[in-house]
Amino acid sequence: MRADRLVSLVLLLRQHGQLSAVTLARELEVSTRTVLRDIEALSAAGVPVYAERGRHGGFALLPGFQTELTGLNHDEALALVVAGSRRGAQVFGLGSALASAMLKVVDALPASYRSTAAGASQRLLIDPETDLLSRRLVTEESPDTTTAEVLRAVLAGHKLRIHYAATDQPAKWRTVDPIGVVTVREQGYLLATRSGEDRTYRLDRVLAAEELAEPAERPDRVDLDRAWQERSTRFRTGGDQVTVLARVNPIRREDLARTALAILAESTDEDGWLRLEVTFQDSRHAEWALWQLSTNAEALAPPWLRAALHTRATTLATRYAAQPVHKDC
């Protein structure tokens, strides 16, 4: 119990810099007297902890002790931050840093835990590089200097100049104020503001980046998770969305629900099929989603969607009615 508390004490001091005995006692759920004895024990064990007396005093570790204790470098520390997702480390080009950081973490474990960790790595595999059909799931760890430059600016809190290619538009240079970087599945996004307006950029569409010396305009405290939720909500409710009325076989309802942005209304017809009012990102998205359901769905409205699906179906029917062009294949 005490050994655990001594470790916790060191970690608290590393995390907060300086803490009073009263605060440490509250955090560790012991008396101040016990904290003082623990400090004494740490000091006797060679931990460079020192006391500042008087008002606003407290205990702190000598500068430098932090890095000596862990041996982690900048990239490794960063890799542990994104370690919740190996994909995150891949997107940031930190896969090798994550691997070496994990080695150090495992190495720091007591011998009994170390064998457990080694055993676990032989029994558990999370997010392999390919799926069962050998399709590659994890992006190559690229020496992506552009992503690295973006990351540098984000961490340094500097403005950033990016050469960005938006969908169906020629690439343009623009200067942005970075807020943070978000990874979703294999995709990285730069959250930023441009002339005070919120902007979200896909990292794979950033063709070049240049960190500027000027500090970025960024709120002191940002809840990145919340910012991402707000932007994704805005994305889902904005743009060229279309609403479709469709009849769907109940067995394919979930397939449609997965691809649609939202289901606005739902009822059941006499024959058991579902009548759904569904919104999609745009017309192409709607056409693709209905086409995927094949004979298990029928678009009732709008007319242009029925026409598009009719064109696809007749083209396909004509093709298969005719003799093959290349008989030898």
Chain contacts with DNA (rule: CB under 7 A): 1-2, 5, 20-22, 29-34, 36-40, 51-59
Q: How far is the CB of 5 from DNA (least distance, A)?
A: 6
CB of 108 to DNA, least distance (A): 23
Q: Tell me if 275 sits within 8 A of 269, measured CB to CB.
A: yes
Strand order in the sheet with 158-164: 197-202, 187-194, 172-184, 158-164, 206-215
C-alpha span between 35 and 44 (Å, rounded) = 14
Q: How far is the CB of 70 from DNA (least distance, A)?
A: 25
Distances (CA, A) of 282 to 64, 185, 187, 229: 55, 22, 21, 21
The CB density around residue 255, as the number of other CB atoms within 10 Å, is: 16
C-beta closer to DNA: residue 58 or 178: 58
Tally of CA atoms within 13 A in the half-sphere of 278 that contains its CB: 31
For DNA, the closer of residues 44 and 251 by Cβ is: 44
Q: How far apart are CA 249 and CA 253, in angstroms?
A: 7
Helix (H, G, I), strand (E, B) or coil at 128: coil
Closer residue to DNA, CB minimum distance, 38 or 211: 38
Asked whether the beta carbons of 305 and 287 are under 8 A apart, the reply is yes
**Burial label, 36 (beta-carbon count in 10 A; 0-12, 13-18, 19+):** middle
Least Cβ distance, residue 20 to DNA (angstroms): 4
- Nearest approach, Cβ of residue 60 and DNA (Å): 9
Nearer to DNA, 50 or 235 (CB): 50
Question: Which CB atom, from 25 or from 256, has the smaller least distance to DNA?
Answer: 25
Q: Which is nearer to DNA, 23 or 100 (CB)?
A: 23
Q: At closest approach, how far in Å is the CB of 112 from DNA?
A: 16
